[in-house]
Structure 1
Amino acid sequence: MERSHRKSGSLEDAELEALRRVANVRIKAIIDIAYLTALRKGDLLNLRLSDLYDDWIQCRVGKTGQEVRIGWSDALREAVSRARKLARRGGFEPPTF
């Protein structure tokens, strides 16, 4: 029997795409940001607008307590933009989601 070398809880590309196909627009934005930043769910859900800077996203990682900076890619900017538009529509601006 061959052992899998992937981490427990990680998704294959096909699994990720299948999940995105059935997700609503808000969840799809969260999935995209999680994938593009590699943040854990708690760290992702704790993101605030004040963590978003022109050149990076800065946040404190819960597991280590370290401050991390994540550089922007075009895809990440687009996903965060979608999430912010949805948050404004829903009336809950302080967290990113």
Structure 2
Amino acid sequence: MLCFSESRLQSFPKDLQDAIVKAGLEAGRWHRKAEVAMGQEIIDKLVANHGLKTIDFTAAQKAEMAQRAMPEVEKYARQVGAEDIFKTIREM
């Protein structure tokens, strides 16, 4: 993770700003794919070696679980002071 303030980013030349943003987006996509792949590898090993049973959920079931979890997600956002970010994400 690379973090710095918006004012610091704006202090860089435009081409460098664009390169930083582009690299960040690409790195984020790569990391997410790698994280999912690693998680799936762990699950596959648990299934094969330890008898883990998995359940595939339908889209409707996933939506219902997300809806039921939302009060706790909102509570956590309030606890960590992320209400504005959470609201922005929900509106996307």
Answer 1 or 2: which has greater strand percent.
1
TM-score, reference length from structure 2: 0.27
Normalising by structure 1, we get a TM-score of: 0.26
More helix by percentage: 2
Task: Please say which structure displays the higher CA radius of gyration.
Answer: 2
